[in-house]
């Protein structure tokens, strides 16, 4: 298992991370609060630890797990270009859709409901 996304694909692991936001937790606390059998919790924590999402501290027989920011920060970095994308292009996209809409209204009288696969655009073909 490699990428941060694969790690976070598992809902229980996301729940564990969200729980660790409040404070560090022992395996037993996670087990009870999330209603996940203990071996499953340990396995998920193993995956999260190996991927650097959490670190563990030994306290007698139990281990206290806490968040470790780095992998999530990398994920955040991966998202950055997309953030730029939608903040740069959102208004332009709206204008584009408006234009499309108006063109459709000009070429047809009936207002067609928006389809998932949108109206055919003019295909460039040799005349």
Partner DNA sequence: TTATAATATTCCTTGACGGGCATATACTTT
Partner DNA sequence: AAAGTATATGCCCGTCAAGGAATATTATAA
* Interaction pattern, residues 26-65, with a copy of itself; x per rule: CB under 8 A: -----------------------x-----xxxxxx--xx-
From 5, 21, 22, 60, residue interacting with DNA (rule: CB under 7 A): 60
d(CA 7, CA 72): 11
Which residues are CB-neighbours of 38 under 8 A, at least 6 positions away? 27, 28, 31
Question: How many Cβ atoms sit within 10 Å of the Cβ of residue 20?
Answer: 20
SS3 67: strand
Backbone angles phi, psi at 24, to 5 degrees: -65, 155
Work out the angle at residue 56's Cα, subtended by the Cα atoms of residues 59 and 2, and round it to the nearest 5 degrees. 160
Tell me whether residue 14 or residue 83 sits nearer to DNA (CB atom). 14
User: Contacts with a copy of itself in 86-125 (CB under 8 A)?
Assistant: 86, 90, 116-121, 123, 125
d(CA 66, CA 24): 5
For the CB of residue 32, give the shortest distance to a copy of itself in the complex, in Å: 19
Residues that bind DNA (CB under 7 A): 1, 6, 9-10, 12-13, 26-28, 31, 37-47, 56, 58, 60-63, 123, 125-126
Applying CB under 8 A, the residues found at the interface with a copy of itself are 3, 5-6, 8-9, 11, 14, 17-18, 21, 49, 55-60, 63-64, 67, 69, 72-73, 75-76, 78-79, 81-83, 85-86, 90, 116-121, 123, 125
């Amino acid at each position: 298992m490699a990428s941060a996304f694969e790690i976070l694909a598992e809902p229980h692991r996301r729940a564990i991370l969200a729980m660790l936001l409040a404070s560090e937790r022992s395996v037993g606390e996670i087990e009870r609060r999330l209603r996940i059998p203990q071996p499953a919790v340990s396995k998920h924590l193993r995956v999260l630890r190996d991927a650097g999402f959490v670190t563990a501290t030994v306290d007698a027989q139990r281990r206290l797990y806490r968040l470790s920011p780095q992998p999530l920060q990398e994920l955040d970095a991966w998202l950055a270009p997309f953030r730029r994308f939608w903040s740069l292009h959102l208004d332009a996209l709206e204008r584009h859709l408006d234009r499309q809409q108006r063109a459709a209204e000009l070429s047809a009288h009936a207002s067609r409901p928006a389809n998932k696969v949108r109206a055919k655009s003019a295909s460039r073909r040799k005349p």
